[in-house]
Every structure is written in C-alpha cells, then in structure tokens.
Amino acid sequence: KYNFCAGPAALPEAVLNRAQQEMADWQGKGLSIMEMSHRSPEFVGVAQQAEADLRELLSISDDFAVLFLQGGASTQFAAIPLNLLGDKGTADYVNTGQWSKKAIKEAGRYCDVNVVASSEGTNFSTIPPLADWQLNPNAAYLHYTPNETIGGVEFFEEPQVDVPLVADMSSTILSRKIDVNKYDMIYAGAQKNIGPAGLTLVIIRKTLLDRALPICPAMLNYKVADDNDSMYNTPPTYAWYLSGLVFQWLKEQGGIEAMEVINRRKAAKLYDYIDGSGFYANPVEKQSRSLMNIPFTLANSDLDKAFLAEAEELGLLNLKGHRSVGGMRASIYNAVPEAAVDALIAFMSDFAARHSA
Ligand code: PLP
C-alpha cells in the first residue's frame, strides 16, 4: 500500500524494519531504547549521532545550534516571538496560507505583527512578489512558510531581508538542497520528512540565543535547550531515535541531492499528468507549486467519494484533501517511492477515462 498522508506521513520501510528488529532489544542491551534513561551513554550516543547526521545532510555549520524539542511546529509559533523579539515590539510575517495564518495569529499575542504581503486575494495560489513586500526595517525578524502544506505552494528562493529570517520548514525540510546559512532560524515538526510526531526540530543561529523575553517559559527557551543539549527535561527519546534512523537512511540514499532529483521527478510527473488530463486540476501558479504536497480537484466534485473509495481499495491511501480546501491532496515526501506516484497516475487516468463525459 502507498501512503500519501500529509502528516504524520509515511516513514521509509527500511527504517520501520530496523526499528522493529531493535524494538524490544536495542543492540543486545536487553531493553528497548524507549526504556532507557535519556542520560544513559547509549541514548546520548544515539542523540549525538542523529545531530551529527543531520548536520552533515544539511551542511549545518557550528554557527548554528540544533535543538530537538517537543510541542510540534505550533508551539514554535509562540516560542519564536518569545525568544526573538528582544527589545523590539514588532515582527514581519508573510501570509501565504493556512500555516502562515496560524503563525501570525499566535505571534499577535506577543507583538505587533506586520503582515508584509499576503496571497489571500488569489486564494493562496501564488507567492506575493518580493518587490511588493512592505518590510519594516525595525522588525525583530521576518517569518515565512517556505512550503504551505495545505495549499501546496512553495517558495524556491529565500527572501533577501536585512532582519533575521525565520522559516517554518515543516513540510519541505530535507526534500531538496537548501543553504542553511541564508537563514537565521529554521524549524519543523518531525512528522513529515524527519520522523514520527512528537519531535520538533529547531536550527538557530547561536547569536540569536540570548534574546528571550523574561516571561519566556524555560521549556520554550532556546538557550536553555541549547545549554542542556535539548535535555532540560525528558526529551521524546523514541522519536529522536527514529529520526536518527531516517537521517541514516537519507545518507544511504545519497543525501539530499539524490532525494531532490527523485522528488523533482515525482512531482513533475504528477503535475504534468494533472495539467494534461482535462479532468483534474491544480490551482497553484506553475512556478510556486510544491514538490511535497500536491492538491488537486476532480472535474466533478460529486465523484470525490468514489475516487477516494476506489483509491483506497487499490492501496492508495490518505488522498483526501484538507478539510479547509476539499478535493484531493497527494503528499509525496521522501519516504513515498516513485512507484507510488506511478500507481497513483495509473489509477487517476483509469478513473478519468471511466468518468469523463
Ligand atoms: N507548519 C506547517 C507548514 C505544517 O504543515 C504543520 C502541520 O502539518 C504545522 C506547522 C503544525 O505542526 P504541528 O502539528 O507539529 O504543530
């Protein structure tokens, strides 16, 4: 079966097999990694290896701290202003979809949010041109969402701004090469391209670690996390371990460059098929189409239920679009093989042939 879920998403089969083998008896220790102290040399070794592998995969320099946190990307919507506002009472946000909106709403509890640009007018099917952004030179930072998981809109260039650049990479991290040095903070919920739910990754420039507001809870404070090697309290050890297995798997596949080639091929195939079908449609402007999340509609939405039922019968799972937009969505993260996209296109083509007028 192929899993097109937007998150929690498919994990590489090899990772699941290895985790299963090690589930009850990790490396001959007679107990599961889940049952070990996070301060044991065994777990600390696993944690450090995961960080080293991630640093290698993304070429993260020593200028950045890598934090393994909890609370999901949504907790970061609050943690970011609490840590980064400093003595500035305002931050810039770009509104390109449902996740941007949530980040904006949460930041509004702590500061004046300046929405520098919004694509709401095009129903979030475009990226607002950078030249039109109303940037505030006194903003504490600029926040944007490089890939909107629900709308399927992706930025392929980093905004060039003079304030710290903060990116919610929950659904794009590890899918294609990025230059981490162009950012000041990157964060991501794990449950798409990193590992299972429960872990949240933060990559942050070390010079930003000293700006937390006095009211920032210790559990959300990046400096506290960094000073304690992400173990201020008990971390989500099993999710951290599994994410480490995913990083090893990515290295075995040839790293991010190799994944990007496959990801671009997978996405191009599906978009080309949709555009040429005359039956399915994707609303996003061509240059901003997500490589990871591909929403599409059928010519007649009365057929949605039949489409989903038949797809499921064929083992093509979780294609229902997000409740806020309807239609379908195929999420094709790293762990979704190219054969899954081929099988989906074959089914879509057959379905369209049977239901076209
Ligand atoms: N940001 C983006 C881009 C997402 O896709 C999601 C979840 O799907 C979130 C934030 C929220 O993540 P979490 O559920 O880990 O809080």
209-223: buried (b, 16+ CB within 10 Å) or exposed (e) per residue? bebbeeebeeebbbb
Ligand 1: atom nearest CA of 200 is 15
Domain ranges of the chain: 26-252, 254-355
For 66, the 3-state DSSP assignment is: strand
Does the beta carbon of 171 lie inside 6 Å of ligand 1?
Answer: yes
* CATH number given to 26-252: 3.40.640.10
Please confirm, yes or no, whether 192 is among the known catalytic residues. Answer: yes
- Distance (angstroms) between ligand 1 centre and the Cα of 35 equals 28
User: By C-alpha distance, which of 159, 149, 182, 152 is closest to 288?
Assistant: 152
User: By C-alpha distance, which of 206, 235, 239, 242 is closest to 223?
Assistant: 206
Does the beta carbon of 295 lie inside 6 Å of ligand 1?
Answer: no
CATH architecture of 254-355: Alpha-Beta Complex (3.90)
Please, is 88 exposed, middle or buried when counting C-beta atoms within 10 Å of its C-beta (0-12, 13-18, 19+)? middle
Mutate to test the pocket of ligand 1, among 69, 74, 202 (most ligand atoms within 8 A of CB): 74
- Distance (angstroms) between ligand 1 centre and the Cα of 150 equals 10
Q: Cα 127 to the chain's mean position, in Å?
A: 18
Predicted TM-score of the model (pTM) = 0.98
168, 223, 240, 266: the active-site residue: 168
Q: Encode the chain (357 residues) as per-residue pLDDT tens digits.
A: 999 999 999 999 999 999 999 999 999 999 999 999 999 999 999 999 999 999 999 999 999 999 999 999 999 999 999 999 999 999 999 999 999 999 999 999 999 999 999 999 999 999 999 999 999 999 999 999 999 999 999 999 999 999 999 999 999 999 999 999 999 999 999 999 999 999 999 999 999 999 999 999 999 999 999 999 999 999 999 999 999 999 999 999 999 999 999 999 999 999 999 999 999 999 999 999 999 999 999 999 999 999 999 999 999 999 999 987 889 999 999 999 999 999 999 999 999 999 987
For 312, the 3-state DSSP assignment is: helix
Answer for the pair 189, 24: CB distance below 8 angstroms, yes or no: no
